[in-house]
């Protein structure tokens, strides 16, 4: 599925309809850790550096796990077209296809929201 569309031309209301079209027309995968969509599985995992394992941030960034899919898409599209300002997110949003953004939205919506863990701190051994 390839869509070429200038999002800057879209009004807010049309963008919502656009989001709805994608969110409810793409396939979803049922198990959060299954191999059904390896492309999105690895891409989503790449977000963990800032947003934690499976989108469960330990703090300082948004928790993506269990996030409403249409909200996720709307935010990413807003980073993409510059209507929401950001430090780095516009770079990531612009690098992804619309299809990937939609698939990521579904992936994160399906992740269980859990309290992320910090690794055990230690004193540096001599």
Note the residues at the interface with another protein (CB under 8 A): 13-14, 16-17, 19-20, 23-25, 27-31, 33-36, 38-39, 41-43, 45-53, 57-61, 70, 87-88, 90-96, 100, 116-126
Q: What span, in angstroms and rounded, lies between the C-alpha atoms of 98 and 37?
A: 16
Q: Minimum Å distance from CB 1 to another protein? A: 14
Q: Minimum Å distance from CB 21 to another protein? A: 9
- Say if CB 56 and CB 114 are below 8 A apart: yes
- For every residue of 44-88, which 3-state class applies, written as one string? HHHCHHHHCHHHCCCCCCCCCCCCCHHHHHHHHHHHHHCCCCCCC
Q: Minimum Å distance from CB 72 to another protein? A: 14
Please identify, using beta-carbon distances, which residue of 3 and 14 lies nearer to another protein: 14
Among the listed residues 44, 45, 51, the one whose alpha carbon sits nearest the alpha carbon of residue 103: 44
Please identify, using beta-carbon distances, which residue of 7 and 29 lies nearer to another protein: 29
For residue 13, the Cα-to-chain-centroid distance in whole angstroms is 21
Q: Minimum Å distance from CB 3 to another protein? A: 16
């Amino acid at each position: 599925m390839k869509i070429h569309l200038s999002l800057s031309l879209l009004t807010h209301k049309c963008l919502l309809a656009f989001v709805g079209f994608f969110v409810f027309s793409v396939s979803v995968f049922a198990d959060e850790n299954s191999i059904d969509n390896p492309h999105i599985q690895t891409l989503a995992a790449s977000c963990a550096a800032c947003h934690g394992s499976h989108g469960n941030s330990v703090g300082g960034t948004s928790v993506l796990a269990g996030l409403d899919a249409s909200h996720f898409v709307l935010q990413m599209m807003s980073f993409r077209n510059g209507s929401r300002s950001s430090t780095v997110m516009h770079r990531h949003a612009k690098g992804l296809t619309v299809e990937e953004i939609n698939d990521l939205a579904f992936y994160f919506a399906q992740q269980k929201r859990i309290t992320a863990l910090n690794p055990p701190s230690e004193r540096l051994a001599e």
